[in-house]
Amino acid sequence: MRLFVGLGNPGSRYGGNRHNVGFMAVDAIARAHAAQPWRRRFQGQAGEALLGGEKVVLLKPETFMNDSGRAVGEAQRFFKLTPADTVVFHDELDLAPGKLRVKTGGGNAGHNGLRSITALCGNEYRRVRIGIGHPGHKDLVHGYVLRDFATDEQPWLDDLLRAVADHAVLLAAGDDPGFQNKVHLAMEARGWGEAKREAK
């Protein structure tokens, strides 16, 4: 069994924010893999799906970003899961828009959702880092992540979320490099190469 956690803030006010791309990724996986309807559990919204024969619990914490670890910890304890069984989808300022990287452990780079999970659940969980780009100065970060994706960002975002959902079976199987490679190839095939991104 795996626990897939999308990070974000609850409520329609935050729904389209860059900071909520983790919620968007888990929603895309739920749609693509016919997950059970969302229901209130573990201080959030949870559902279950089968990905390549692997049971996956999908979780969107509703504790607000800074307390995400409370929801994740509750779900881990209930299902007797370890950090290694947990995959967290989150926004990443240090990656270009449309880029994606997967890693286990490491630093939290000032991300309060990751900081909360690390503090309450340990640090050796798997992270799907979804690039949203950086506004250019640290003083602009707060407003940037809490603004909606711009209209001209929607095409690459839709393609990236589709690729994440299409290849999530590999994450469920523990093949993080395979997942990352397949998403990268899908984005290249849809025209989101480095040259095109840099020209925008």
Q: What is the CATH number of the domain that holds 154?
A: 3.40.50.1470
Q: 22-35 pLDDT, tens per residue?
A: 999 999 999 999 99
Tell me the residue range of the domain where 86 lies.
Answer: 2-199
Structural domains in the chain (count) = 1
Question: Residue 37, Cβ neighbours under 10 Å: how many?
Answer: 8
Has 19 been annotated as catalytic? Answer: yes
CA distance 59 to 45: 6
Q: Averaged over 7-18, what is the pLDDT?
A: 96
Q: What is the pTM of this model?
A: 0.94
**Region for residue 106 given its phi and psi (left: phi exceeds 0; alpha: psi -120 to 50; beta: otherwise):** left
Q: How confident is the model at residue 200 (pLDDT cuts 50, 70, 90)?
A: very low
Q: Which one of the listed residues 19, 33, 90, 167 is annotated catalytic?
A: 19
Is residue 195 very low, low, confident or very high in pLDDT (cuts 50, 70, 90)? very low
Rounded to whole angstroms, how far apart are CA atoms 165 and 179? 10
The proportion of the chain whose per-residue pLDDT surpasses 70, expressed as a percent, equals 96
Pairwise CA distance, residues 102 & 176, whole Å: 6
